[in-house]
Structure 1
């Protein structure tokens, strides 16, 4: 037998539902629960977080990439994911930090074939130090609009993942505060804006506002490895829910259009009606609902 020492990694699952959100000190009851699920590689995170920075300029111990899938469809949830890759795998894709790793083909999920995304999906789950996926239901999208629903998903993914990290390492050596010269957490959001995090809650669990550097990256899933990883998680997770809906409602052809407003989809809505998972605030769906009420 080999004398090589193997470290058994402890995996901590994340599985929670959010029914209320605190927005600027006011609690809002969501029209439907938001489900968040994922996991932490507790051993890997502890090893990385305990490592001393090699230079004073080394800014962070955690880089979290966040992306979404499904803003445009008429059907189903908008899915948001966040991923923490090992530090030496994190960085600009053009610098090839993933060269020679199991994730070497990872890039913007929209540039990958479905076959490659499906291949990468379990690999991202296996090798990420932490990840989380949030499904923001159609009812919530109709309640607060698609932009705010997407921002809510990005915010919740970030907060729940960070809270899980701190909760797991409460008695360990990880320290995330404002006593260092640079932020210790970098959160990279795909898009042109960052969500408003609940810093009051994060402060209570031990994460100071100054410890977090939030950045918005337009087309970030083609720039940063951590955002690209989140992109694959979000896209494949949403596709899985669409295939499940297709088995339940085959007459809508969901497996082909994935809920997007194709001609076949809009014709199916007109012929078969609106499903509970359709977004009633979106014009093509709203039109069918209004016509049915008139008729």
Structure 2
């Protein structure tokens, strides 16, 4: 190998190598410099990580692949976020992905950082065939209960799709819709379409809660998204119940009773 290559140049060359059978890699292996050998170890780890991501990607397409083989083209993955918080809406998303969608980092939104979710959200918005969002606020949640409100949000998300889906893949739910559907336990970790929907729902709701934080400061909505954290409960005690609080949820209900 040309010894004139610096360590930085070797690292750059490794970026374009994707197989140990590449002649260029064979040359680099012969370089005994510690910096080069360290770079090679890092390259091996990166390849192994990429392989795991690809395997996970393929595993998460098992439900979609089966339906695609049955000539079912438009498959909507559906998920929600916001069933547990004390404040704010429950948000559902329905996403129809194209067959050639190949974004390896997509996973259950709860497993991703905020920055990664935001980046993937933009990619999904750009490449998805259709996206629908359904939102049910605290008044609906208090009126019909959170489980039914979640269903209503999911149905609204499906109805807001610009393409009529031929099949629904849903995270642990059954919807009263005249569309074939499959309910999958922990679907956001098993189906790419559901995982994409979980990201859209999560980012959409988190951004809503950040706006609510400006409107109702003191509850930590920008960080806790309405969940019952210590900061949120302290804010509830200090500032009282806001219009976006769920009045039928225990800590909020208790606070209302105390004020009477």
TM normalised by structure 2 equals: 0.71
Runs of 4+ that moved beyond 4 A: none
Of Structure 1 and Structure 2, which has the larger fraction of its residues in helix?
Answer: 2
Q: RCO higher in 1 or 2 (8 Å CA, sep ≥ 6)?
A: 1
Partner SS state of residue 87, structure 1: coil
CA distance in 2, matches of 1:81, 1:116: 18
Aligned 8 A contact 2:135 2:156 in 1: no
Q: Are 1:160 and 2:180 counterparts? A: no
Count of paired positions: 193
Partner SS state of residue 163, structure 2: helix
1:258–1:286: structure 2 CA closer, same or farther, 3 Å change rule? same
Q: 1:185 — aligned with what? A: 166
Correspondences of 1:1-295 after superposition (within 5 Å): 58-89=70-101, 98=102, 103-161=103-161, 164-165=162-163, 185-191=166-172, 193-197=173-177, 199=178, 212-293=179-260
Q: Based on CA coordinates, which of the two structures has the bigger radius of gyration?
A: 2
Aligned 8 A contact 2:134 2:155 in 1: no
CA distance in 2, matches of 1:127, 1:288: 45
Unaligned segments of structure 2, at least 5 residues? 1-67
Question: Residues 40-92 of structure 1, C-alpha deviation per residue, up to 9 Å, x if partnerless?
Answer: xxxxxxxxxxxxxxxx9524021100000111000100000000100233xxx
Unaligned segments of structure 1, at least 5 residues? 1-55, 90-97, 167-183, 200-211
The alpha carbon displacement at 1:132 in A equals 1.2
Aligned 8 A contact 1:107 1:225 in 2: yes
TM normalised by structure 1 equals: 0.63
Aligned 8 A contact 2:134 2:153 in 1: yes
Of Structure 1 and Structure 2, which has the larger fraction of its residues in strand?
Answer: 1
1:214–1:126: structure 2 CA closer, same or farther, 3 Å change rule? same
Aligned 8 A contact 1:63 1:87 in 2: no
Question: Residues 258-277 of structure 1, C-alpha deviation per residue, up to 9 Å, x if partnerless?
Answer: 10011221111111010000
